Every structure is written in C-alpha cells, then in structure tokens.
Structure 1
Amino acid sequence: MRFNIDSPFWQFLTLCVRYFILNLLFVISCLPVVTIGPARAALYSTVFAYNDNEDVNLGREYIRRFIHEFPRALGAFAIFIALAALIVFALAFWNHLGTKAAWVVLPILIAAGILVAVTFEYYFPIQARFTNTFRNTWSNALKMPWAVFGKTLILLAIDVAAITLFVFTKWLRILFVLLGFSWLAYAKSLVYLKAFDQIERVSRGEAGDGSTSNPFTPENHSLPTASLT
C-alpha cells in the first residue's frame, strides 16, 4: 500500500489532531474558571473562522481570538455568574420557606433561570461573530433565542445529547475530553450560523413576508468578524 497524505483517512486524522489542539487550548484556558467566558467566545470565533476558511490554523487562531475577546467576555461572564448565583440563592431561600408565597415566586425564579440559560447559550457566539457594543450584544442575546426558537431547541437538544452520552457512555468520556468541546462547538456553530443568517435576511427584508426591518437587530449591527486581522 502506498502512503498518500491526501487520502480521506489521513485528512480526517489531520483534522482530528487540529481539533484536539483546539480542544486542549480551550480546556486549559477554562481552568481558572473566571476565564470560561473569554474561552467560549474564542472557541466559537475560531470555529466560525474555520467555517469560512478550512485552512485556518486552529491553535494559533484560538490564542489570537482569546486575547481579542478577553475584556468584554470576562465582564459578561461575571454578570452571568452573578445572575446565576442570585437565582440559585433565591430558589434555595424560597424553597426552604415552603409558604404559599413561595409557590408564586418559585415559578418566576425558574423562568428567570431559563432566560439566563438561553441568553448564555447565545451571548458568546454573538460576541464572537459580530462587532457590536456591549449593550447591544446583550440585547441581541436576550432576543435572539426567541426569534429563532426552533434553532434554540436544536442547540439545547445537542447539549442534552452530549451530556447524556458523557454521563452514560464511559468510553465516550475519554473522547469528549480529547475532542468533545471543539467538536461540539463546531456542530453547534452550524446551527448558530443558520440562525444568524435568518436574522440578517429578515433585517434585509428577505424573509418573504414583506418585512423591511428587524426588531432583533440593533441599528449599529455590523458585518461578521470571522476574518479577524
């Protein structure tokens, strides 16, 4: 058998190595915990770049984008942590009381938790894909999950499937540690890009319903920054 570096097998193996490096860098940059936000923004920024140009150096691109996304993503992640901590504390407090008022407050807190979770799902990919103000990025992240609700359900289904496989399939845990985060981000990036494209088409009046404006897109919404220089 003749060695052929261009064969599908070697191309797939090379791709696995590239995504292993990306996955390793992501895991390492998440270790301080407070840097999870910048790491997530950089991960999606990198896989978006890969979708635009498959020849991009994933490891080097991730490092560049981690530095670029760090300040805003760090602040955003701190806000998410504060909101999550507040909701968890309130849930524990009202659940412990066990009063009639608690039965009114608890559903509101659960709804707030869901809102924070789906906003977190979209925030860092939106930051990674678009140049925008901090305020408008938050506005988009709050509105977009409901504007493209079908795709939001797909994203959540991917997360649930990944968690289920990780918990109940022992051998996949090793594979997940080696490649899981980067491959999961790539799979979800395809859904995010479809969602972003849908919103942009609506904003250009191409949704087929005669709409000429999009309430989910801020006025200073700019083009994607997938080709970062």
Structure 2
Amino acid sequence: MRIDPDGRGVQGLTTFILFVVLNVLYLAACLPVVTVGAATSALLEVTLRYADDERGHLVRGFVVALRRNAWRGTAVLVALGVPAAMLVFSGVFWLSMSSVLSAVAGSLALLGAGYLLAALLYGLALVAWFDAPLRGTLRNALLLPLAEPARTLGLVLIPVGAACVAYVLPQTLFLAGTIGFSFGAYVCALVLHGVFRRRQAHPSELEPVSPHSGQ
C-alpha cells in the first residue's frame, strides 16, 4: 500500500502534529512566566500567518518570532496584563462582600479587567503583525475594543470560554496541554484578520502602522 505524501489525509495529520509541537513549545516558552507576553505574541504571529493562506512555518517561525517579539511582547504584557490582573483581584475582593456598593465596585472592576484583557490580546497581536513603536501599539490596543466591539467580544470569549470549560471539566486540560493553545490562537487569528483588514481600510483615529517585512 502506497501512501501519498501530498494526500489530504497525510497533510491533515502533518498539520495536526505541527500544531501539537507548537502547543508544547508555547507552554515551554511560558514556563519562566515573564516570557508569557513574548511567547503569546510569537504564537499569534505564526497562527496569523497560517490563517492567511497557510503561509509560513509553524514551528520554525515560532522560534524566530519569539526572539524578535521578546521585549515588545513583554512590555505589552506588563503595561496591560498587570493592571488587568489587579482589577480581577479587586473585583473578586469586592464581590466577596455583601453590600450593594461593593457589588457595584466589584462589577465595575471586572468590566475594566475584561476591557484590558481585550486590549492585551490586541496589543500582543499588534506586536506580532505590525512594526510600530511601543507607544503607538499600546494606544491602538486600547482603542480597538471601542472600534470593533462585536469582534472584540468574540475575541475575548475564546480564552474566557476555554478557561470556563477547563474549570467545569478538568479532564479537558489534556487538550489544553496538547493542542488547545495553538488551536485557540488560530481561531483568534481568524478574528484578528478581520479586524486588521477593516482597520487598515478605515484607519480613523488609530496610529499608522506597517506590517512586518516578512508579511
């Protein structure tokens, strides 16, 4: 029996294995914790390319992108991720109390955390896809949730929904460790492509940006 290396079944299996390897590499890159921003930005870069007519190499491209996006990805994580985490802690704290004012304060804190989470995802994707100064990247990341509310909701629901499923069904953590993060980034990339194309066609109040030279 001959196996056609160009057959759809073989190509599908090869792609699946590459996504599994990419997922493992991403988790390994996140282990120092401080590298989470750079690793997530690199993951988004290769999945954005793959979502754009399957361009680029998933594994080799991730290693290159991790090095290139290191400082900007980390800076975006610190600027947007740390305040988001603080707002989550504050929201949980206030909601644990039993007064109306604390419930309002907790709800507002969690809404703010959700907005910053969306801005963080946009910021890491902007680092991955565009060459721009850090200040302009952060400004655009904070403006995009207002400019694209519908797509932003979908973008935020992907990681939040996955986290909720993992909490309710702990057995699904196996999927997260094998292909969950890489496949989730690919789904996010499909949403992000729509946002970036629309914003480039109608830049409005956003800072001007240019794609990476390899895109």
Alignment TM-score, normalising by the size of structure 1: 0.81
**CA distance, structure 2, for counterparts of residue 116 and residue 55 of structure 1:** 30
Does the 8 Å CA contact 1:42/1:128 hold for their aligned counterparts? Answer: yes
| One-letter code aligned to 2:71 | P
Residue 81 (structure 1) shift = 4.3
User: In the alignment, which residue of structure 2 is the partner of 1:188?
Assistant: 188
Deviates more, 1:86-95 or 1:65-74: 86-95
**CA distance, structure 1, for counterparts of residue 190 and residue 85 of structure 2:** 31
**CA distance, structure 1, for counterparts of residue 92 and residue 174 of structure 2:** 34
Deviates more, 1:28-37 or 1:151-160: 151-160
User: In the alignment, which residue of structure 2 is the partner of 1:223?
Assistant: 210
**CA distance, structure 1, for counterparts of residue 28 and residue 98 of structure 2:** 42
**CA distance, structure 2, for counterparts of residue 162 and residue 95 of structure 1:** 23
What pairs up with 1:98-117 in 2 under 5 angstroms? 102=102, 105-117=105-117
| One-letter code aligned to 1:68 | R
Relative distance call for 1:83 and 1:189 in structure 2 (3 A) is same
Does the 8 Å CA contact 1:119/1:145 hold for their aligned counterparts? Answer: yes
**CA distance, structure 2, for counterparts of residue 19 and residue 64 of structure 1:** 16
Deviates more, 1:106-115 or 1:69-78: 106-115
Relative distance call for 1:103 and 1:157 in structure 2 (3 A) is closer
What pairs up with 1:16-165 in 2 under 5 angstroms? 16-52=16-52, 54=54, 56-88=56-88, 90-91=90-91, 102=102, 105-165=105-165
Give the secondary structure class of the aligned counterpart of 1:135: helix
**CA distance, structure 1, for counterparts of residue 55 and residue 144 of structure 2:** 30
What pairs up with 1:6-21 in 2 under 5 angstroms? 6-21=6-21
Does the 8 Å CA contact 1:52/1:226 hold for their aligned counterparts? Answer: no
| One-letter code aligned to 1:16 | F
Relative distance call for 1:109 and 1:7 in structure 2 (3 A) is same
Alignment TM-score, normalising by the size of structure 2: 0.86
Residue 139 (structure 1) shift = 0.8
| One-letter code aligned to 1:122 | Y
Structure 2: where are the runs of 5+ without partners? none
RMSD: 2.6
Residue 36 (structure 1) shift = 0.6
Does the 8 Å CA contact 1:49/1:227 hold for their aligned counterparts? Answer: no
Residue 99 (structure 1) shift = 6.6
Larger Rg: 1
Structure 1: where are the runs of 5+ without partners? 204-213
Deviates more, 1:98-107 or 1:50-59: 98-107
- Equivalent residues, number: 215
